[in-house]
Amino acid sequence: MIDIPGQELTAEDRELLCHPLVGGFILFTRNYRDPEQLKKLCDDVLALPRERLLMAVDHEGGRVQRFRVGFTRIPAMRSFGHLYHENAAKALAEARAQGETIGRELSAFGIDLCFAPVLDLDYGVSQVIGDRAFSDEVGITVELARAFRAGLNAQGLAATGKHFPGHGAVVADSHLELPVDRRRVEDVRADLAPFKALIDDGIESMMMAHVRYLNVEPQIASLSSYWIDGVLRQELGFKGAVFCDDLSMGGAAVVGDMEARARLALEAGCDMLPVCNDRAATIALIDALGKDLKPDRAGSARLKKLYAKHPNP
């Protein structure tokens, strides 16, 4: 899954987006000027002479909302957690309504996937998670995430639970460096509860965390077959698509260059690898993997289930 630097497609963008190893397109704030420009950009991507690309965006609300002017301002998910303590029914209704708003507004542009909801529990130590989390309580997180996902789904969008197996108990920002979770195994595993609940509901996709859980498994979770194949798929029974977190992030850099990161992620079981904000590395990775990588039919089938299903009028 790759990005582009501007607000319209260049010849190089088109060439890369048509490469057979590219299956997705992710949008950022820099790609947005106004609704008319965004519609043309998305239409141009969908019109490329190739099998349809999966189009996605981080649009959680609060600090993480890529499109603002011309879009409804979505509050941080923590606000629903606070409201839940005062009026649970109202909080659930609001969470669903905001999910519906995001779904309606994004699907109008042909966007398939919102990388939300955050299922991390907030332990009050991670600034990069913070108010992106619904709550520090499992039960509240599960109920609100279910309501939010139902809203997305009602408007045709797929959901992505993140960041498996839990990013809320580490201080470091994985965009910049590798966070290391030194908690006991049983404490780390307690964070699986919201993910398990949404998996049981049939959530469409998951995004892995660039976090090392030192007392569980030495490899970073996003590059770990223990976490992806062993825990997520076999133990928890997840059947949907697995996204690595962005391989350009500092949390993944400790294992080597972009090719080394990508191969580890693929071997571990990730279905799609976002590679963002580094065009030179993107091109080099495509060239390197293009020599020997063969399509994963099972992974492709899982990803195709994420394409937007627009609701009936």
Secondary structure percentages of the chain, helix, strand, coil, to 5: 45, 10, 45
311 falls in which pLDDT band (50, 70, 90)? low
Q: Is the pLDDT confidence value at 312 over 50?
A: no
Query: What distance in Å separates the CA atoms of residue 5 and residue 10, rounded to the nearest whole number?
Result: 9
Domain ranges of the chain: 11-304
Query: What distance in Å separates the CA atoms of residue 168 and residue 131, rounded to the nearest whole number?
Result: 10
Told to judge if 200 belongs to the known catalytic residues of this protein, a careful annotator would answer no
Q: Is the pLDDT confidence value at 291 over 90?
A: no
**β-strand pairing of 59-61 with 64-65:** antiparallel
Q: Is the pLDDT confidence value at 51 over 90?
A: yes
pTM to 2 decimals?
0.95
Nearest to 79 by CA among 118, 135, 142: 135
pLDDT above 90: percentage of residues in the chain: 87
Query: What distance in Å separates the CA atoms of residue 2 and residue 48, rounded to the nearest whole number?
Result: 15
Query: What distance in Å separates the CA atoms of residue 78 and residue 81, rounded to the nearest whole number?
Result: 5
Q: At what angle do helices 138-154 and 192-201 cross, to 10 degrees?
A: 30
Told to judge if 85 belongs to the known catalytic residues of this protein, a careful annotator would answer no
Pick the catalytic residue: 34, 43, 85, 175? 175
Query: What distance in Å separates the CA atoms of residue 297 and residue 133, rounded to the nearest whole number?
Result: 34
Distances (CA, A) of 195 to 141, 190, 206, 311: 10, 10, 9, 26
CATH code, residues 11-304: 3.20.20.300
237 conformational bin, left if phi > 0, alpha if psi -120 to 50, beta if neither: left
Q: What phi, psi does 139 have (nearest 5°)?
A: -60, -45
Q: How does pLDDT run across 168-201, given as a tens digit for each residue? A: 999 888 888 889 999 999 999 999 999 999 999 9
Nearest to 157 by CA among 96, 98, 110, 191: 110
Q: How does pLDDT run across 81-131, given as a tens digit for each residue? A: 999 999 999 999 999 999 999 999 999 999 999 999 999 999 999 989 999
- For the record, the structure tokens of 79 come out as 């606000």
Q: How does pLDDT run across 293-302, given as a tens digit for each residue? A: 777 778 888 9
290 falls in which pLDDT band (50, 70, 90)? confident
Query: What distance in Å separates the CA atoms of residue 294 and residue 306, rounded to the nearest whole number?
Result: 21
Q: How does pLDDT run across 214-262, given as a tens digit for each residue? A: 999 999 999 999 999 999 999 999 999 999 999 988 878 888 899 999 9
pLDDT above 70: percentage of residues in the chain: 98
Three-state SS for 188-253 is HHHCHHHHHHHHHHCCCEEEECCCEECCCECCCHHHCHHHHHHHHHHHCCCCCEEECCCCCCHHHH
Pick the catalytic residue: 58, 112, 245, 271? 245
